[in-house]
Structure 1
Amino acid sequence: MNHLLFDCCKQMLHLRLDHCDTGDCSVWKINAPHSNLRVLEVYLSKLKKAEVLCLPKLERVRWQAWLFYEAPLCFGSVPSLKELSLICDASLIHQDFSLSQVLDGATNIHTLTLNFRGEKIWMQPEGKQLCTAFNKLRKLTIHGIFIKFDLLWTLNLIEAAPSVKTFDVEMFEHPCQEGDEARIRCFGAQRVEPSWKLSRFTSCHKWQLKEFQFGGFRPLLEQHFLFVSTVMGRAPDLKTVLLTDGQYPCNGCDTRIPIPPPVGGFFPTYRDAQEAIAKQLRERARSSAQIIFRSGSTYPSRATRSYIY
């Protein structure tokens, strides 16, 4: 596999593998110092793990869904790697792994995307262990957090990356999955709450956060109010808070009749409700950041509406 991909394809710039493996569920060791590969994408691979020992021009990695129960990746010499996306709806038997160990050797990342697709949080609790890997991080995206999960654990990641300018969080709510027998067999009847606690570790540097995006905001969930106001209160340079309905209904959700109301109530669409929420958030956080409510963007048939406060 290495011979075909790297010895025979030295000018290859973009590699995408779908449902691919070497036939023996082995560790894939990539050592290609002369490769020109810039982008590596792997989807639903049966490889046990990929050890990227040397890919000097690699800039972007996207790894979606891993079937084994350990960290899917580790890095050696990847000096050009700037963007990493890890996406997986891990089952209950997937082991949590250390993100800092995955990123050891990849210290130039400026954009990191983590997506849990509504299931368990597959990272071990960490704080200052991530400081080295997060040294140059500018954008942190955390999507697919189940709608009922606590959110304050994500602040451990921001504390380890005070230079982040954009923080993007999105909740996950799909009514069609509730009571779905296939999901329950694979993931369990109850989703596993994050075991993370808000660490006592506090960075010696103030947050440089400029933009905070929160998708799936629900006004009746106290943890949402607490999370948004806490981020606003800890980011003195924050300019913009973008609150959206943030849900992307699938075909299964669209066919459920009657459609169940969302957990925590509907996203506020009327201006008087939005004004009251914006006022309450500012009072809690003592922040002057601009607050934008955006609704309708997840439904192609509806016009997007944005109000600024």
Structure 2
Amino acid sequence: MLNRDGEKLVDPQSGEFYPVVHGIPRFCDADNYSESFGFQWNLFNKTQLDVYSGTDHSEQRFYSETGWDPSDLSHYSVLEVGSGAGRFSEVFLRTTTGVLHSIDYSSAVDANHTNNAVYRDRLQLAQASIYEIPYLDNSFDRVFCLGVLQHTPSFEDSVTALIAKTKVGGEIVVDFYPINGWYTKFHSKYFLRPFSKRLPKPFLLRLIRLNISWMLLLFDTLCFLRVGFLTRFIPITDLRGFPKGLNSYQRREWAVMDTFDGLSPEFDNPQRVKDVARMFNRGGCEVTFAGLATYPAGCSTVVRAIKRSS
């Protein structure tokens, strides 16, 4: 356990101090490989939130991927790893009465803190690495990690870290970018990433904004002509997975945000579903689902697993 000491947390065993900034304990250096996500989510801090977009896209995705019942979650200890700006934190806090423990490696925790201020008494935030989650092992009944694992240095080490914090009998849910075949990386994103991820983040964002209009037009034209497979050669995110009902401004902002999300991260490691399932098996888990979770706005590649042994 850590004791609060003014604006720091103190580990009584090691004597190590951790700063508390804006009410959030910081267990990692501010400069790390997730810098692009801190930049992204503090800029697009509300774009993906259902309460801002006027959709239920995030809620659909959360409950379709996890298969959880919100009434059950109110009674469980729950950990979110990789909160971003808090889109799924907001879903959990709005649809349950439970307490959510949530970490992110980037300064996106500040956006989450602001976006979910109304739930502050039930949201326990910390800035920390997935490899050094500041909770005891075997602490949580439910652990979810959505939109994160492909962006970590070691996919399997990240899975192992999630398993460690889950109680025996507890459930872990992750989603990730899938490898669907040899053509997965035959995509403009992967052609450009060796260069784009090294660009200053504000400059990359400006390039995307300057080019987003023609890319949107070309993407929509190719889909209208029923040659949507060619859109992989346009350096823009796949617009077909966006929530229905976005106005033109919102759709443009989602396109800019998701395109930046694809081109800027340090790591982008898609995986085969069977390989991720094996990672959980090696970690002492029983995989209960491995495949596509579908919902009205789209689908996600998901693995759910029950921890059977420590």
TM-score after normalising by structure 1: 0.30
Write 1 or 2 for the structure with the bigger share of helix: 2
When you count strand as a share of all residues, which structure comes out higher? 1
Q: Over alpha carbons, which structure has the higher Rg? A: 1
TM-score by length of 2: 0.29
